[in-house]
Amino acid sequence: MSALHQEQRRYYTTGMGDSKTVCVLTFGSAVEALGWQRREVPATSAMTVGALVTELERDCPRLAAARERVSYAVNQQYATLETPIKAGDEVAIIPPVSGGSSETDSGPRPPAARLVRTPIDPQTLLLEVGHERVGAVATFLGVVRHERNDDGRLLTALDYTAYEEMALKEMHRLCAQVCDQHPLHKAVLVHRLGRLRVGEISVASVTSSPHRAEAFAACRDLIEGLKASVPIFKQELWQDGGRAWVDGI
């Protein structure tokens, strides 16, 4: 039995409420695999993400089988299995992403990246990136499409959830990155969370530039970056009431 496992066992059997802990969060299909969304785990000396994950895998074969596809974050920054962790840290277990300040943000100019729970209005986004020096606006809209499963069931909706604080940080980073790499006026990235029906817009990537080539390239980079690194998760809802995580563990 490892030192971490021994300390965990002592903690849970004696109820030592004063132990120093690491907060472990799970998202998407990892919640189903592990059976919980948040847990305080006793911290040990020389602790790493890998040591923590190995202990969690003892009780969750699905997590162990998906190790190569699962990502991890420490304090809302992507991390490796070798990353050290200490008491007070927040560790997130992030399954493959589906590739969404929140609605409460206020002010004369909306943030370049945001998560919303209301319908996305493309016309509003076009006005947001416009300027007298802009000669091209490129827009990508991701839409929930009609699907039929192999057994004939119809898709009725998608449920989107996210590790919201980290997702927003990643989305803002992507907007800043494409603006650094391309001569843009503005880049906006918006993702909707919650339940979306067929035909509704789930994500919008909008870029504006003096010329079309830069706007096209930046728009593509923005949406591809979101699909690769932003912790947003998608669950399919089928006609018969069945559910399935997209790229789940």
pLDDT digits (tens, 9 = 90+) for 45-84: 889 999 999 989 888 888 888 888 899 999 999 999 999 9
- Residue-wise pLDDT for 107-117, tens only, equals 334 679 999 99
What pTM did the predictor assign? Answer: 0.77
Q: Is the dihedral of CA 4, 10, 13, 14 positive or negative?
A: negative
Q: Is the dihedral of CA 219, 247, 72, 164 positive or negative?
A: positive
Q: Which domains does the chain have, with CATH numbers?
A: 3-94 (3.10.20.30), 113-245 (3.90.1170.40)
Instruction: Identify the pLDDT of residue 19.
Output: 57
**For residues 220 and 112, what is the distance between their CA atoms, to the nearest angstrom?**
16
Please enumerate, as own/partner, the contacts of 22-25 that have beta carbons within 8 Å and a separation of 24 or more: 22/47, 22/52, 22/85, 22/86, 22/87, 22/88, 22/89, 22/90, 22/91, 23/89, 23/90, 23/91, 24/52, 24/56, 24/91, 24/92, 24/93, 25/90, 25/91, 25/92, 25/93, 25/163
2: pLDDT strictly greater than 80: no
Question: Under a CB-based contact definition with an 8 Å cutoff, are residues 151 and 178 in contact?
Answer: no
- Residue-wise pLDDT for 236-246, tens only, equals 999 999 999 98
**pLDDT band (50, 70, 90) for residue 100:** very low
**For residues 211 and 183, what is the distance between their CA atoms, to the nearest angstrom?**
9
